[in-house]
Amino acid sequence: MHPGLSTSFFFDAKLGRVELTGREHFRVIEDERGLALVPTRALMRGERVPMTVFFQEGTAPTSARFILVVHASEAARQVEVTRQPRTLASYREGEQQARAEVWQCREDKARLEARCSGQAGLLGLLAQGLLGEGGIADKTITQSVISRPGNTLTSIMARSYRSSATHGEDGGKRVRLAVELSLMNNGSTPWTPAGAVLVGPDGMEWKALGVSPLEPIAPGELGRVGVEVETTEEAARGVFNLKLWGQEASGGSEFFDGVTFP
């Protein structure tokens, strides 16, 4: 926008009200379907002015926010705004995501409380419902895990673990998965684990709940790295890829294919 030049906004929904910061610096003409703004000379070039319009209907989105920028010589003379109400499916998706986040927070809280109360071993697993009748299932996967070409680290031994299923907030079953690797550092500098992601057969990424121990592996030496994730029981099937990255700024990611769980 530019002082002295009019900018008109047209909407496909009826307006309820308009909130314009520094309204005294504008000449404003508005009705149910739009408004026209004419900035005065009091506005400086480059100044940014927030404006929020609220619609009369109660369906979402109930408002729209704009940032009006004062230009040295030009102004948008006409702005057409099309409002797209959210669908029922969109609301349901948002609700499911919120429920999943709440459930994850509760799980994290339970895990922290178990640790703080001294229940870090089997009692901690029992407190979180992760030890079922069959205990923790484990599987040797040394032969199936393949280190990708270009890796600094090579997998020498590998073992995977699966907890008993627990019921999530949404009623679905969740499991904890863990993989432990003995890694050879073939590089010339130490490598220290920082984070990990487990990628499922469908491309879904499961961020690690924890990576341990966070200790450097010296060049030419073996080191152990354990990774734990949480997935749905259904998603825990199939062949996974493991992506590790280190704390060192110069290092890239390390990839290991062929990870499976009991």
**What total of structural domains would you count in the chain?**
3
Same domain membership, residue 103 and residue 186 = no
Handedness of CA 111, 214, 255, 261 (dihedral sign): negative
Q: Give the model confidence (pLDDT) of 5-39 as tens digits.
A: 889 999 988 899 999 998 888 999 998 889 999 98
- Has residue 172 got a pLDDT over 90? no
| Domain extent at residue 58 | 7-81
Residue 2 domain flag: no
Q: Round to whole Å and give the CA distance between 6 and 78.
A: 9
How many CB atoms lie under 10 A from the CB of residue 92?
A: 10
Residue 1 domain flag: no
What's CA 181's distance to the chain center, in Å?
Answer: 26
Residue 194 domain flag: yes
Q: Which range among 55-64, 199-208, 228-237 shows the weakest confidence by mean pLDDT?
A: 55-64
149 CB-contact burial (10 Å; exposed 0-12 / middle 13-18 / buried 19+)? exposed
Same domain membership, residue 112 and residue 60 = no
Same domain membership, residue 116 and residue 48 = no
Same domain membership, residue 163 and residue 71 = no
Same domain membership, residue 195 and residue 222 = yes
Q: Give the model confidence (pLDDT) of 93-144 as tens digits.
A: 777 777 767 766 766 666 556 555 554 554 455 555 555 556 688 899 999 9
Same domain membership, residue 194 and residue 160 = yes
pLDDT at residue 122, as a whole number: 45
Same domain membership, residue 207 and residue 142 = yes
Same domain membership, residue 156 and residue 254 = yes
Residue 68 domain flag: yes
Same domain membership, residue 115 and residue 20 = no
